[in-house]
Amino acid sequence: MTDTPPQQPTVETVGDGVARISWGDEVTRQGLREAVQRVAPEVEAALDVHVRVEAWVGPDDVAGQRIATWSGLRREGVMRGAVAEGDRVVFARLAHDPPSTEPEGFRALLNSFLPRKRAISQLLVRDRDDRVLLCQLTYKPDWDLPGGVVEVGESPQLAVSREVSEELGLELPAGRLLLTDWLPPWSGWDDALCLVFDGGRHDPSLLDGMVTQPREIRHAEFCTPEQVAERCAEFTARRVHAALDPSGPGYTESGR
């Protein structure tokens, strides 16, 4: 009696020049190496006649995601409600993508699935009396330091000056990094790194030329330590306090 050979991956044309590859549990149970040896050649063969080959894998199917990755398919994201059973993680390779056996293709493959931290840059601006510039925001009840999210491929140090220019109409170059504060997941947000840069000391008249962006900023003013504690969320107040401390740790988690 001979063993039944494992199920082969199947390739289906789902659009103009687009193929979707799938495989069953029998392939997955062979182990990563053996499964990749079955899936990868099918991907290559499909690219001979298609411009795109993709795989849809369940978000909880860790083994399936690894098979898709090491078969040369780049992770593109999660398609919510893709099928009746729920979401699917989409992996794909285009005919002109460098193969993962080449350095450029391998780097692109890794870049597609490695974790990416959101970065937020903020500016610690003080007046001559050590009051701190805070912004009253339109989208949450508490006040915060000026700044915002760093865009893809943007320098965090340049990003904070851009945000201050866009939101407050002030041209303030960012100085040295004062604090890196890790923010855990909170209220629908993923975790992030908040980088607080030194915005220098200025005369309060600096705000005379301020032009706030009404969509995000209600008001901004220099605040005393007591006002910081009263107006900011607790973790923000801790972050401000840590950034102000010249002998502080330089790194905190939610301000601690």
User: How far is it, in rounded angstroms, from Cα 31 to Cα 204?
Assistant: 66
What the block records as the tokens of 114 is: 């490695």
189 pLDDT band (50/70/90 cuts)? confident
Average pLDDT (173-189) is: 92
Pairing of the two strands 52-57 and 192-202 = unpaired
Number of Cβ within 10 Å of residue 20's Cβ equals 19
7 pLDDT band (50/70/90 cuts)? confident
Would you state the pLDDT for residue 5? 55
User: Would residue 92 be called left, alpha or beta, if left means φ above 0 and alpha means ψ between -120 and 50 degrees?
Assistant: beta
Would you state the pLDDT for residue 248? 87
What the block records as the tokens of 91 is: 């992996």
Task: Confirm if 85 and 56 have CB atoms less than 8 A apart.
Answer: no
Average pLDDT (144-163) is: 96
What pLDDT, in 10s, does the model give residues 117-151? 899 999 999 999 999 999 999 988 999 999 999 99
Domains of the chain: 10-113 (3.40.630.30), 118-253 (3.90.79.10)
What pLDDT, in 10s, does the model give residues 209-224? 999 999 999 999 999 9
Would you state the pLDDT for residue 2? 46
Helices (H) and strands (E) in the chain — how many of each?
7, 13
Would you state the pLDDT for residue 193? 97
What the block records as the tokens of 2 is: 């001979």
Task: Confirm if 138 and 218 have CB atoms less than 8 A apart.
Answer: yes
Task: Confirm if 90 and 83 have CB atoms less than 8 A apart.
Answer: no
6 pLDDT band (50/70/90 cuts)? low
What pLDDT, in 10s, does the model give residues 72-130? 999 999 999 999 999 999 999 999 999 999 999 999 999 999 988 899 999 999 999 99
What pLDDT, in 10s, does the model give residues 219-255? 999 999 999 999 999 999 999 999 999 998 999 999 9
- Kindly list the distances between the CA atom of residue 137 and the CA atoms of 61, 71, 153, 246, in Å, as whole numbers in the listed order: 41, 47, 26, 28
Task: Confirm if 101 and 108 have CB atoms less than 8 A apart.
Answer: no
Q: Roughly what angle, to the nearest 10 degrees, separates helices 62-70 and 103-113?
A: 160
Would you state the pLDDT for residue 1? 40
Q: Which of 199, 206, 192, 196 is nearest to 250 (CA)?
A: 196
What the block records as the tokens of 160 is: 């904070």
